[in-house]
Structure 1
Amino acid sequence: MYNNPKYLLAGDKAIIIEFGNEINKEINNCVRNMYLAIKKYNIKGIVETIPTYRSILIEYDPLTINIKDLKNKLYQVQSKMNDIQIPEPRLIEIPTVYGGKYGPDLKFVAKYNNITEKDVIKIHTSVDYLIYMLGFTPGFTYLGGMSDKIETPRLETPRLKIPAGSVGIAGKQTGIYPIESPGGWQLIGRTPIKIYDSLRKNPIMLKAGDYLRFVPITEKEYEDILQVENYYENKEDKEGR
């Protein structure tokens, strides 16, 4: 199905290109290839293109292009999508303080999986997670690769307010809440890094296709990083980019 995606209507102003019905890297690579190809060929009439785990939602202006012409142009782009060079992924380290007031559900995650809190932290920080997609709120990361040894169900009753930077687990997924918001994931830690900042030139610091690695830090290190403006820009300068 990867090379023969489904084209599905989504109302009268959008179309979905579906490459599969499961979460895996091969399908997601097809999504990224097609997404980049659509951007490159800049089809007139496309308003917005939104990639997901396994599909792309394309919003278009029916006064500029009709659905038949749009599909024909997308078929042409699809035939060329494998020629697109996917950028080398970045590996971004996310300093995270675990447990306590920063990760109030760490104890539950450990108990649920019959392991220690230290085990949860060790397992959670031992993986380079692929960022499959962003969504839910600006910059919310949907990551792939979490060990099933720390898989834990969502909260039965979601919280009304979760602090920005909170790191959570829900089923087989883990991710970061970029802004304060409601949510039902089990909170195991928090990062001082601003994943989303509307005042930055590029408000969302992470991109689909990048890899993310959680790095455990102390509460003091957390507080120190909070005081550093443009933490990652400064870090890259010191490392010579």
Structure 2
Amino acid sequence: MRWLPYGTDAVLVECESLSEMSAVRTTVIAARLPDVLEVVPGARTVLVVARPGSTALSEAREAVEAADLANPPGADPRAVELAVRYDGEDLQLVAETAGISADEVVELHTGAEYTVAFTGFAPGFAYLTGLPEPLRQSRLDTPRTKVPAGSVGLAGEFTGVYPRSSPGGWRLLGHTETVLFDSRAERPALLAPGDRVRFRRTR
């Protein structure tokens, strides 16, 4: 793990794994340091932003270095359920790659509980961990120029939902009508790091 200055009032923590990143994020949040203004996770990084002139960055580092990152502090995550119509363009491709039927793909995808590890790519796009091993597949060789909003896909160790129409190379399993991002709402993004997510099949 490396702690790198990020301007005068922030530090970028470079982690060795996704799980270490999640442990650092939850540890800093659990410390409830009043002068930590923002904690922004990435795939292998955590950005900690502090109030100018405070000692929050050193306090955050002390909290992380004193913590057992193999057993990070617990949290009270929000639970979100997304209803999905599993009719995606790549559902059969995912099934063939996994060596199972399309129905088994859906059973695996809906049977797991996912955690929002971090957000990025587009406003409201959440990278969800917890994808069953048979569904961990590569991105498409040729990305699509337009993926419809609400498309549910997977790539590598992640699954997620496209919050708006955009280019994308994830394998598409289906579609949800749930709005993932609304700039006019009090909470624009439906999903935030630490949230727990389940998918439910709908016809």
Larger Rg: 1
Larger proportion of strand: 2
Conserved in 2, the CA contact under 8 Å of 1:31 and 1:55?
A: no
2:197 aligned partner:
212
Given residue 136 of structure 1, which amino acid in structure 2 is its aligned partner?
F
Deviation at 1:40, TM superposition (A): 3.9
Decide which moves more: 86-95 or 165-174: 86-95
Query: Which residue among 141, 158, 161 is the counterpart of 2:126?
Result: 141
**Number of equivalences:** 197
RMSD, aligned CA: 2.6
Query: Which residue among 22, 27, 30 is the counterpart of 1:33?
Result: 27
Larger proportion of helix: 1
Query: Which residue among 47, 60, 68 is the counterpart of 1:57?
Result: 47
Q: Does residue 93 of the first structure (1) align with residue 87 of the second (2)?
A: no
Conserved in 2, the CA contact under 8 Å of 1:31 and 1:52?
A: no
1:206-236 residue CA offsets vs partner (Å, 9 max, x unmatched): 1211110000001xxxxxxxxxxxxxxxxxx
1:68-102 residue CA offsets vs partner (Å, 9 max, x unmatched): xx7x54112333466x9764012211100001xxx
2:170 aligned partner:
185
State the alpha-carbon separation in 1 of the partners of residues 6 and 35 from structure 2: 21
1:170 aligned partner:
155
1:79 aligned partner:
62
Deviation at 1:183, TM superposition (A): 0.7
Deviation at 1:176, TM superposition (A): 0.9
Greater length-normalized contact order (CA 8 Å, ≥ 6 residues apart)? 2
Deviation at 1:113, TM superposition (A): 1.4
State the alpha-carbon separation in 2 of the partners of residues 206 and 169 from structure 1: 17
Q: TM-score, normalised by structure 1?
A: 0.72
1:89-129 residue CA offsets vs partner (Å, 9 max, x unmatched): 12211100001xxx111011111112111011011111000
Deviation at 1:8, TM superposition (A): 1.5
1:6 aligned partner:
2
Structure 1, gaps ≥5 residues long: 219-241
State the alpha-carbon separation in 1 of the partners of residues 145 and 44 from structure 2: 29
Conserved in 2, the CA contact under 8 Å of 1:7 and 1:16?
A: yes
Q: Secondary structure at the match of 2:111?
A: coil
Deviation at 1:51, TM superposition (A): 1.9
Matches of residues 192-211 of structure 1 in structure 2 within 5 Å? 192-211=177-196
